[in-house]
Structure 1
Amino acid sequence: MPAPWNRSESACPTRTTRQINSDSYSETSPRPHGELPDRRIRRLLQRQRPGAGGPGTVPAEVLDLRSGPLRQAKIPDERAFATKGDLAKAIIMRALASPLPIAWVTADSAYGQEWRLRRMLEEASVGYVLAVPKSQHVHAVGRIDFAIAQAPEDAWERHSCGAGAKGPRAYDWAAARLPAIDDFDGDKPTHDRWVLARHSLARPDEIAYYLAYAPAGTPVAELVRIAGARWAVEEAFQAAKNECGLDQYEVRRYPGWYRHITLAMLAHAFLAAMAAAAGTERGAAETVPTPSHRSPWRKSGDSWQLATPRRRTCGTPATH
């Protein structure tokens, strides 16, 4: 089957169907190894307990999920359990409601694999570059690692995704636009969806994968820059741990933990502002050579297009 990496200004729209499977919970008295406490509670609520109150009845103190350890830890009643995806959506919605100019969102694969988060950003017309696992399914092309594996050598271009401690962070990147989705994009899409991949110059076998959503005409270099912006957040957390003891708390109650985290982040913000005012400079550039190589492929436009196979009644599939 021919590789689907072709240059084209047109996209083949396709329809997608998504299905989300939710976990079902049951409960027994002993806690299985490695199981989370909230699952134990849900299983306990589904357990048949004949006797006190009849079949399927559980004590009132079990029904009150705020009793016991949660009450002793003084966790506020309004603090309910939320997944990482739910927390991210709440943070983003709060940011969009503020007067801040929010144009892009970037995150690691724990958030990038949440299709609800991606769809929420698309409906808000907010661009994103989100890391995803290599097994991520992409509409019209299947697994993202299989699609990237078919990219020709000349699809990989060298870009810097920002300044690091030793100079520019240079990687080889491959990027391709995806076909539009009729149900979401309409007849005249204003944004493009992309697949991206990067590998290190020293370790080309280690590949990271991304999904992106960007206004039409966005260059690949801008997508790379957004992807690299996430590392600044990770560096900030690591610096807060090293310099301000962000993770060095020994508390058993929510108020003490909240105060420690707040003060540690405030101290880190003060140090960061002082360092910026002092004009702290980055280290010397990396010594990794970055030779430029000319591609034998003739470019049509400024980006690659990932086309979908076109069915034929006989013969081998063709790409367009």
Structure 2
Amino acid sequence: MSQAMDTFMDAGGVQRLEAYFRRIGDILGEESRRSSFAIYAMGLLGDGERKSIEPIAARACPDPSKMDAMHQRLLHFAVDSCWSDREVRQEAARYALSAMTQREPVEVWIVDDTGFLKQGKHSVGVQRQYTGSAGKITNCQIGVSLSIATRTEHLPIDFELYLPESWANDSARRQEARIPEDVTFKTKPQLAVQMIGRAVADGVPKGVVLADTAYGTSSEFRAQVRSLGLDYAVGVEPQTTISILDNEGRPHGEAVSVKDMALSIQERGGFRRCTWRSGTREELSARFALRRVVAAGVPKGQQEPLWLLIEWREGEPESANYFLISVLERITKKQLIRLVMQRWRTERVYEDLKGELGLDHYEGRRFPGWHHHVSVALCCYAFIIAERVRHFPPSARGADEAYAQPLQA
């Protein structure tokens, strides 16, 4: 059993895992799918170094003469078996969120993306593209994710594979990769809105949507988030233009870029230091400025007052980050800063999913297989998070320590 599971696998934990597999099995239906899911999930939860289908089959089948049959069985489950990723992910999210929200309310929904490094050019969606996972342009797939977070826990509930136009608009590639006809080219922000819309429809407890500049700079993304009844706190590019609001809430003066606004505030000494994380590992602080604004370039009927939060780190020649925030309720500057900084928790989750549960170990080339593999990984993560909530009460650790800890803690 992997480190991620060692802490929890007492007799009660085993019983809960069996009951959880039965819940997922009720969604999968036929017995062969139930059994294959359990084998696959235990392969991801186990301590094997590689967690693609072939090594999972080898570990699950001690009889070498039967290993090929096991491999084919798991391959069929991942690639050819017709089961609903959405319904399975819904059940996993319900299970974990039930435990999480008994302890703390949901605070934020976090949109982000991560790279799946690949060799060759035949895996669905692969091409040379930038990924923050490698910090450069490289040969990879990109997965866009949606996570739900309380003060101390962070649960990924959905993933979509980003299909570049070179894949989405190539009929031969689509056929070979078994891309469904209703899957068309969508930008990463459009994929994110699609997942947010599903979560709203599923009744997931609402939170403020967090996203980096790749999403937040899009005025369309921000507008769609608001149309779904959610607030946002998102990064924007330095060239994003805004207008300052006067004391009566009316735009004042000419529209300027957020970068120029930051320089103007800096000249007047308007930045103030704030510490947003005081954990056992380190204290994190920077200088911040906060202004009431409206986004420029938005039709007047669609404009709404926003907060512009600017971060300027010590010794840097210009601001590090700019955020537009639609939260209008009474909230302090420090609370806004803590809110937007929660987005970086997703990096810890990606490390856990990849390092502990083999999220990026799938070696197949087809669209259904990628999503089925990710669904099983999300199910495994959901169970671990629910167990961690049961074993570690909130008084035992603060939010800063919680999201800095690896999955097995």
The one of 347, 350, 363 aligned to 1:250: 363
- Answer yes or no: is 1:137 the counterpart of 2:241: yes
Distance verdict in 2 for CA 1:267–1:199, change over 3 Å: farther
Q: For 2:280 and 2:350, locate their aligned partners in 1 and report how far apart those are by CA, in whole Å.
A: 16
Report the equivalent of 1:176: 291
Could you tell me which amino acid in structure 2 is paired with residue 196 of structure 1? L
Distance verdict in 2 for CA 1:41–1:100, change over 3 Å: closer
3-state SS of paired residue (1:135): coil
Distance verdict in 2 for CA 1:265–1:199, change over 3 Å: farther
Report the equivalent of 1:79: 183
Could you tell me which amino acid in structure 2 is paired with residue 184 of structure 1? G
Q: CA deviation at 1:283?
A: 11
Contact 2:263 2:318 in 1 (8 A): no
- Answer yes or no: is 1:93 the counterpart of 2:206: no
Could you tell me which amino acid in structure 1 is paired with residue 378 of structure 2? M
Contact 1:243 1:268 in 2 (8 A): no
Once the two structures are superposed, residues 148-181 of structure 1 have per-residue CA deviations (whole angstroms, 9 ceiling, x without a partner) of 1111465323334456672453332211111598
Distance verdict in 2 for CA 1:256–1:131, change over 3 Å: same
**Alignment map for 1:195-234 (pairs within 5 Å):** 195-201=308-314, 205=318, 207-234=320-347
Contact 2:310 2:323 in 1 (8 A): yes
Once the two structures are superposed, residues 183-237 of structure 1 have per-residue CA deviations (whole angstroms, 9 ceiling, x without a partner) of 2368xxxx63121111345757561111111215433223212201212223212
Could you tell me which amino acid in structure 2 is paired with residue 235 of structure 1? R
The answer to which structure has the higher helix fraction is 2
Q: CA deviation at 1:241?
A: 1.3
**Alignment map for 1:93-112 (pairs within 5 Å):** 93-112=197-216
Q: For 1:79 and 1:173, locate their aligned partners in 2 and report how far apart those are by CA, in whole Å.
A: 42
- Answer yes or no: is 1:150 the counterpart of 2:267: no
Distance verdict in 2 for CA 1:194–1:41, change over 3 Å: closer
Contact 1:174 1:198 in 2 (8 A): yes
Could you tell me which amino acid in structure 1 is paired with residue 288 of structure 2? W
The one of 146, 151, 165 aligned to 1:38: 165
Q: For 1:41 and 1:217, locate their aligned partners in 2 and report how far apart those are by CA, in whole Å.
A: 45
Q: CA deviation at 1:79?
A: 1.9
Contact 1:72 1:253 in 2 (8 A): yes
Contact 1:162 1:229 in 2 (8 A): no
Q: For 1:192 and 1:242, locate their aligned partners in 2 and report how far apart those are by CA, in whole Å.
A: 42
Contact 2:242 2:294 in 1 (8 A): no
Q: For 1:121 and 1:73, locate their aligned partners in 2 and report how far apart those are by CA, in whole Å.
A: 31
Q: For 2:339 and 2:399, locate their aligned partners in 1 and report how far apart those are by CA, in whole Å.
A: 22
User: Under a length normalisation based on structure 1, what TM-score does the superposition of the two structures give?
Assistant: 0.59
Q: CA deviation at 1:71?
A: 0.9
Contact 1:75 1:253 in 2 (8 A): yes
Contact 2:288 2:311 in 1 (8 A): yes
Structure 1 stretches lacking a partner, 5+ long: 1-32, 43-64, 286-320
Could you tell me which amino acid in structure 2 is paired with residue 38 of structure 1? E
Q: For 1:257 and 1:41, locate their aligned partners in 2 and report how far apart those are by CA, in whole Å.
A: 16
Distance verdict in 2 for CA 1:163–1:78, change over 3 Å: farther
3-state SS of paired residue (1:141): strand
Q: CA deviation at 1:131?
A: 0.5
Report the equivalent of 1:58: none
Q: CA deviation at 1:34?
A: 7.3
Distance verdict in 2 for CA 1:248–1:205, change over 3 Å: farther
Q: CA deviation at 1:124?
A: 4.8
Q: CA deviation at 1:284?
A: 10
Report the equivalent of 2:354: 241
Question: Greater CA radius of gyration, 1 or 2?
Answer: 1
User: Under a length normalisation based on structure 2, what TM-score does the superposition of the two structures give?
Assistant: 0.47
CA RMSD of aligned residues (A): 3.5
Report the equivalent of 2:305: 192
Contact 1:170 1:201 in 2 (8 A): no
Contact 1:192 1:214 in 2 (8 A): no
Q: For 1:98 and 1:261, locate their aligned partners in 2 and report how far apart those are by CA, in whole Å.
A: 19
Report the equivalent of 1:268: 381
Contact 1:167 1:282 in 2 (8 A): no
Structure of higher RCO (CA pairs closer than 8 Å, 6+ residues apart): 1
Q: For 1:266 and 1:147, locate their aligned partners in 2 and report how far apart those are by CA, in whole Å.
A: 45
**Alignment map for 1:283-294 (pairs within 5 Å):** none
Once the two structures are superposed, residues 58-83 of structure 1 have per-residue CA deviations (whole angstroms, 9 ceiling, x without a partner) of xxxxxxx54x1211112222222211
Contact 2:235 2:321 in 1 (8 A): yes
